[in-house]
């Protein structure tokens, strides 16, 4: 293998159980073969320098069912919660995990399965503002409970802000004690937002993702992994 190939991601394809799958292969200074499927269903495989292409493919074949299941879940997530907000009459949107139909004009009653917006021309901004308002109200109602669970372990109170993000569900600036929550959380179950809030507040104790971080997090939010499953 040439030195240029070492550490440089390579785009490959493989047929798994009759389905053609693209994946990214990277040779690294690692001891084991590491397989990852991201939220979009993209497959990546990191392998030690000494592992051959044939061995890498045999590993993927052995993981075929796992890979295809992960890609299927990713496709279903994209169908249910597209990254771009739908703005057409009759589009399906979600509020706290429940589907609603998008309608324009303020005529009609208060039906829980209908989300009414005044004007299709401003639908995207109106919907973003709506989700921000929903996210803020829910997060601020949860915050006292979360802070009480941390008790005296925190030396100061965090401030919350909200914006639509594409790559993360939340972030924490430990220095300024500012937590940012993704307004898209309002599309999912309330417990997903609560779990993310616990996650970010825990960063005020442990800024990294060490074993100590997860120990502190799971002490206060034992169902964290269950509640965030919908976000993966």
CATH number at residue 174: 3.30.2010.10
Same domain, 51 and 137: no
Same domain, 150 and 224: yes
Same domain, 46 and 135: no
Helices (H), 102-223: 123-150, 190-202, 211-220
Burial of 44 (0-12, 13-18, 19+ CB in 10 A): middle
Same domain, 140 and 227: yes
pLDDT in the model for residue 82: 56
Range of the domain at 154: 128-231
Q: 117 lies in a domain? A: no
The Cα–Cα gap between 119 and 152 comes to: 48
Q: 3-state DSSP call for residue 80? A: helix
Same domain, 139 and 220: yes
- Give the side-chain half-sphere CA count within 13 A for 69: 4
The Cα–Cα gap between 185 and 191 comes to: 10
Global pTM reads: 0.64
Q: 114 lies in a domain? A: no
Q: 86 lies in a domain? A: no
pLDDT in the model for residue 79: 54
Q: 3-state DSSP call for residue 166? A: coil
The Cα–Cα gap between 129 and 134 comes to: 9
pLDDT lower than 50: segments of the chain: 1-4
Q: 38 lies in a domain? A: yes
Q: 122 lies in a domain? A: no
Single residue among 45, 80, 115 that ends a domain in this structure: 80
The Cα–Cα gap between 147 and 149 comes to: 5
Q: 135 lies in a domain? A: yes
Scored b (16 or more CB within 10 A) or e, 183-194 reads bbbbbbbbbbbb
Dihedral pair phi/psi, residue 60, rounded to 5°: -65, -40
As for how many domains the chain has, the answer is: 2
Q: 162 lies in a domain? A: yes
């Amino acid at each position: 293998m040439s030195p240029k190939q070492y550490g440089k991601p390579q785009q490959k394809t493989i047929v798994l159980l009759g389905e053609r799958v693209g994946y990214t292969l990277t040779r690294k200074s690692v001891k084991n073969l590491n397989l990852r499927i991201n939220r979009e269903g993209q497959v990546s495989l990191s392998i030690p320098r000494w592992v051959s292409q044939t061995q890498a493919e045999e590993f993927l074949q052995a993981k075929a069912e796992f890979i295809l299941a992960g890609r299927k879940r990713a496709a279903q997530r994209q169908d249910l919660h597209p990254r771009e907000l739908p703005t057409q009459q009759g589009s399906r949107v979600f509020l706290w995990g429940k589907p609603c139909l998008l309608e324009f004009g303020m005529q009609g009653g208060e039906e829980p399965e209908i989300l009414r917006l005044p004007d299709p021309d401003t639908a995207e901004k109106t919907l973003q503002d709506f989700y921000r308002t929903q996210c803020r109200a829910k997060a601020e109602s949860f915050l006292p409970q979360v802070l009480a669970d941390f008790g005296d372990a925190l030396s100061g109170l965090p401030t919350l802000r909200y914006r639509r993000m594409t790559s993360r569900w939340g972030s924490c600036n430990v220095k300024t004690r500012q937590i940012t929550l993704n307004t898209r959380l309002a599309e999912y179950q309330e417990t997903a937002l609560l779990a993310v809030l616990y996650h970010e507040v825990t960063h005020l104790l442990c800024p990294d993702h060490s074993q100590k971080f997860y120990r502190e997090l799971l002490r206060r939010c034992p169902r964290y992994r269950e509640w965030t499953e919908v976000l993966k």
